[in-house]
Amino acid sequence: MTARRLVFSPHADDAVLSCYGALGPGTEVVTVFAGAPADPALLTDWDRSLGATSSRELALERRAEDLRSFAPLGLVPEQWAHLDGQYRPGEAPQRLRADMTVRVRAAAEAVTAAGGGEWEVWLPAGLLTHPDHVMVRDTGLTVCAELADEGVRPALVLYGEYPYQLFQISNHLRAAGTRSGFAWTNDHPEPFAAWAAEQFPLATAGRHHARQSRLSAADGAAKEAAIRAHASQLDVMDRQVHGQLLNRRNLRLEHWWPLHGAPAAASDLDAAGTTGATGTGGVR
């Protein structure tokens, strides 16, 4: 039976970069921070580095790239108007929790109307603690924990964000003293297991090692084409990982964690005090 999935992508490119293999028939995608700032004169440092002259115009272009990226899959992402973190410094979207609650509940109702069965909610893992990614992850886990009391219990999956994976692996290996520089490949699973055991000891108990999906050559090529649709981001992201962004071995290997349930994940977040945590990521 075709898996039914609801995938939350913080930004326009995160889902195709990180969990392309999950984007088959029966999948719905929400791009959370797809809003465009109102001020046409606004230009953030990041957007300037991309060669933009207006953050609003770039945000609108990213929305168009999002649609082009998913079109070959026959998917149309649901683009929410919440602003990217660089456009709302120090502020959290007030309606994000309510919007995610409505969306997850609606997915549950659609599954029930279709005769029931298993379904999944996919959330970013929060590697490198990018504030937008952590916000979507923590809000989604909290919402699902609350909805469990209503009988809404989707299977939960955290997907390892690419190319953040490359930095997560390299930072771990360097801290362990087993590598002095950066490793620009994502085929070292041990750092992911260490991360999961630290961040989600209950939700990933007994399976801290991430599951791995290896795309076929054809699907890997299709994924590369989908990523190339995000042309406004491509050059800068590729430079940040020393030209390895489109390394085909990396693109074909995806990492994800099935969780034991939202209440366990929410307990982990409460114990760690990480709900709403912020951090900095080298790539967007």
Of the pLDDT bands very low, low, confident and very high (cuts 50, 70, 90), residue 23 is very high
* pLDDT score, position 2: 58
Integer Cα distance of 69 and 25 in angstroms: 16
* pLDDT score, position 282: 45
Average pLDDT over residues 123-143: 97
Phi, psi angle pair for 85, to nearest 5°: -55, -35
* pLDDT score, position 117: 93
Q: Is 214 helix (H, G, I), strand (E, B) or coil?
A: strand
Integer Cα distance of 134 and 7 in angstroms: 15
**What global pTM score does this model have?**
0.94
What tokens does 96 get? 């994000």
Which domains, from first to last, does the chain contain? 4-272 (3.40.50.10320)
Of the pLDDT bands very low, low, confident and very high (cuts 50, 70, 90), residue 277 is very low
Is the bond preceding residue 163 a cis peptide, omega within 30 degrees? yes
Output the CA angle 119-15-239, nearest 5 degrees. 160
Of the pLDDT bands very low, low, confident and very high (cuts 50, 70, 90), residue 180 is low
User: Tokens 């088959």, residue?
Assistant: 24
> What's the pLDDT tens digit per position in 142-157?
999 999 999 999 999 9
Of the pLDDT bands very low, low, confident and very high (cuts 50, 70, 90), residue 280 is very low
> What's the pLDDT tens digit per position in 63-102?
999 999 999 999 999 999 999 999 998 788 989 999 999 9
* pLDDT score, position 1: 40
Select from 188, 200, 192, 190 the least CA-distant residue to 161. Answer: 192
> What's the pLDDT tens digit per position in 97-130?
999 999 999 999 999 999 999 999 999 999 999 9
Per DSSP (E only), the strands in the chain are: 4-9, 27-31, 78-79, 119-124, 155-159, 211-214, 253-258
